[in-house]
Amino acid sequence: MKFFIDTANINQIKEANDLGVLDGVTTNPSLMAKEGISGRNNVLDHYVNICNIVNGPVSAEVIATEFNAMIKEGEELAALHKNIVVKIPMIKDGIKAIKYFSSKNIKTNCTLVFSAGQAILAAKAGATMLSPFIGRIDDSSWNGIQLIEQIVHIYENYNFETEVLAASIRTPLHIVQCAEAGAHIATCPLDSILGLLKHPLTDIGLEKFIADYKKVEA
Ligand code: G3P
């Protein structure tokens, strides 16, 4: 399973990249706003900065919701850097835009996905990646991981090439469950990635190894 980081924060992107296990980055308008990035030129510059840090796909989301405007914006984003993946919302014009970009060999990430039906449509349109929001599904007392399992199963039935990119991940356990469910990619907050490191027996064991080494050494 590939690891993407779900943030527009440059320090966090660098920290995850320095771990050596980062495969890409996803952003969205809320994450950009959280970093105080505003104004079209600043937003575009920020995407290029991210692309210059991480050697992998970087999702940049269109703001437009009408087909022609999405195409114009998506082409502008795609021209920024070879790593850019154009992120398109799961709406009717979005599906048309994904089909258009697919025919132009421009990579897409279909976002705001909450059902298997939406996943089928996006794959039929030729989306490169699909982002089901598992945390937000859990928030509404449904089961985000079950949706990942269902979509992976459907895509395998028909050899769809669209990659399932589990998004809205909230915990290290979500990451493990996504791996069990066969998600191709998990996009995670830095805390959830670092949370995978944690186990008290590792800390206790290491403390004992060092103490025993010192006893003999002394
Ligand atoms: O990748 C989608 C993500 O940014 C949404 O996460 O926590 O706002 O549901 P969240």
Q: Establish whether residue 136 lines the binding site of ligand 1, counting it when its CB lies within 6 angstroms of any ligand atom.
A: yes
Q: Which amino acid is at 197?
A: L
The one-digit pLDDT tens for each residue of the chain (218 residues) are: 999 999 999 999 999 999 999 999 999 999 999 999 989 999 999 999 999 999 999 999 999 999 999 999 999 999 999 999 999 999 999 999 999 999 999 999 999 999 999 999 999 999 999 999 999 999 999 999 999 999 999 999 999 999 999 999 999 999 999 999 999 999 999 999 999 999 999 999 999 999 999 999 76
What is the DSSP secondary structure assignment for residue 3, as one 8-state letter? E
> Is there an atom of ligand 1 within 6 Å of 187 CB?
yes
Residue 34 annotated in active site: no
State whether the beta carbon of 83 lies less than 6 angstroms from ligand 1. Answer: no
Rounded Cα distance, 138 and 140, in Å = 5
Residues 6+ apart with CB under 8 A from 89: 61, 62, 65, 110, 111, 112
The Cα 58–Cα 124 span in angstroms is 23
pTM score, two decimals? 0.96
Index of the ligand 1 atom closest to the CA of residue 135: 9
In sign, the C-alpha dihedral spanning 98, 101, 31, 24 is positive
